[in-house]
Amino acid sequence: MPIYEYQAEQKGCEHCRQVFEIMQSFSDAELTECPKCGCAVRRIFSIPGRPGRNIMSNSSLAEKGFTKYKKRSDGRYTRECGPGPEI
C-alpha cells in the first residue's frame, strides 16, 4: 500500500501542522480532515524513493555524517568514509 502525505490547509493541531503520512490503499478516499483534530487537510505531492539508489554507499553515508570502517587482514579497522578517526 502506498504512503500519502498530508498537511493542514489552515492552522491545525500538532499532528497536522507539519506534514504527516498515512498508509492508504489506492481505492481509499483522499483524507479531507485531520484524524486527530478534524482540521481541513490536503494531500501534497512528494518525490518517491528512487529505486536502485544504494543508500549504504560510501558517499551517501558520508553525506549523512556516518563513518564506515572496514576490517583489515591484521584484525584492525580502517576508515572507508565519514568524519570518524582514521583507525
The pLDDT tens digits for 4-44 are: 899 998 888 888 888 888 888 888 999 999 999 999 999 98
- Is 87 domain-assigned? yes
- Is 13 domain-assigned? yes
Q: Same domain, yes or no, for 17 and 37? A: yes
- Is 50 domain-assigned? no
Q: Same domain, yes or no, for 64 and 39? A: no
Reply yes or no on whether the pLDDT at 61 is more than 90: no
Over residues 13-23, the pLDDT tens digits come to 888 888 888 88
Q: Are strands 20-23 and 3-8 parallel, antiparallel or unpaired?
A: antiparallel
Under 8 Å CB-to-CB from 33, ≥6 apart: which residues?
39, 40, 41
- Is 49 domain-assigned? no
Domain extent for 60? 56-87
